[in-house]
Amino acid sequence: MKLWQKLAAEFFGTLVLVGIGTGTIIALSMINQGPGPRDAGTLVAVSMAFGLALMTALYMVARVSGGHFNPAVSLAVFLNKGIGPTDMLAYWAAQVAGALTASAVFAWVLDRASVASSYTHVNQPTVSEVAGFIAEAVFTMVFVFAILVLAKSQAHTKFMGMGIALAAVHFVGIAFTGASVNPARSFAPALVGGHWDAFWVFVAGPALGAILAWVLYKFVIAGDLNLADDAKGLRESV
């Protein structure tokens, strides 16, 4: 596949993921007249929306680009030598553009305040920003580890597993941080909706989580206890 095809796939896949996921939050906020999930039914709906959105996007275009739709996933794949640094940066740009397009459409159809309601929030004062950062790192680690493992499967049902993994971390994570696990997913509502509270949590947390997921994959799945050679190879590639 040509690079432009891969970038187009990442753009469209991220648009679908963020559009369906945050669109569900916006729709439910309009019904409930308040930001974020307000009851168990809403939590289930949002979690399933993100999981099903990921499955939909994967089945459509994963064969073209690998189906990352998330800068944290691209970072882990880069660390695992699945893509080079130039492709990783290009993937990031396409993913952010796709997410921004989804949020911009909702802002045009509704308004920026509606888009702001889909932004991820650290549930303060119960959860501090530092605790939210740790939570995002753990949620992302679990999700990205599942992606790295399932990506090796030849079965098409692997996409179902990836969607289930994303839904699962949302079931737990929504109450703590909104379960971003995807910097592009949080950046788009932040920029379009003008809501930046604790934004660093949703960039640094997933980044750390992606690194931890890769390390865990190397230890548990690959059985590689020596990461020095990998680190040297990454430095040379950069």
Q: Which residue has the tokens 């993913």?
A: 95
Per-residue confidence (pLDDT) for residue 229, from 0 to 100: 66
pLDDT band at 233 (very low <50, low <70, confident <90, very high): low
Tell me: pLDDT of 33 over 90: no
CA–CA separation, 17 and 34 (whole Å): 22
**Closest alpha carbon to 27 in 106, 136, 134:** 106
Across the chain, mean pLDDT equals 92
Assess whether the previous peptide bond of 35 is cis (omega < 30° from 0).
Answer: no
Helix (H) or strand (E) holding 174: helix 158-177
pTM, two decimal places: 0.93
Q: Which residues of 65-77 are buried (b: 16+ CB within 10 A; e: fewer)?
A: bbbbbbbbbbbbb
Amino acid at 69: F
CA–CA separation, 139 and 179 (whole Å): 7
Per-residue confidence (pLDDT) for residue 231, from 0 to 100: 60
pLDDT in tens, 34-78: 555 556 678 899 999 999 999 999 999 999 999 999 999 999 999
Return phi, psi of residue 98, to 5°: -65, -45
Q: Which residues of 189-203 are buried (b: 16+ CB within 10 A; e: fewer)?
A: bbbbbebeebbebbb
Tell me: pLDDT of 12 over 90: yes
Q: Which residues of 84-96 are buried (b: 16+ CB within 10 A; e: fewer)?
A: eeebbebbbebbb
CB 105 within 8 A of CB 19: yes
Specify the 3-state DSSP secondary structure of 123: coil
Mean pLDDT, range 80-84, rounded to an integer = 94
Tell me: pLDDT of 81 over 60: yes
Per-residue confidence (pLDDT) for residue 31, from 0 to 100: 73
How long, in residues, is the chain?
Answer: 238
DSSP string of 69-92?
-SHHHHHHHHHTTSS-HHHHHHHH
Q: From residue 101, how far is each of 11, 14, 55, 131 by CA, in Å?
A: 9, 9, 20, 30
CA–CA separation, 186 and 183 (whole Å): 5
Per-residue confidence (pLDDT) for residue 235, from 0 to 100: 64
* Architecture of the domain spanning 3-237: Up-down Bundle (1.20)
pLDDT band at 29 (very low <50, low <70, confident <90, very high): confident
pLDDT band at 137 (very low <50, low <70, confident <90, very high): very high
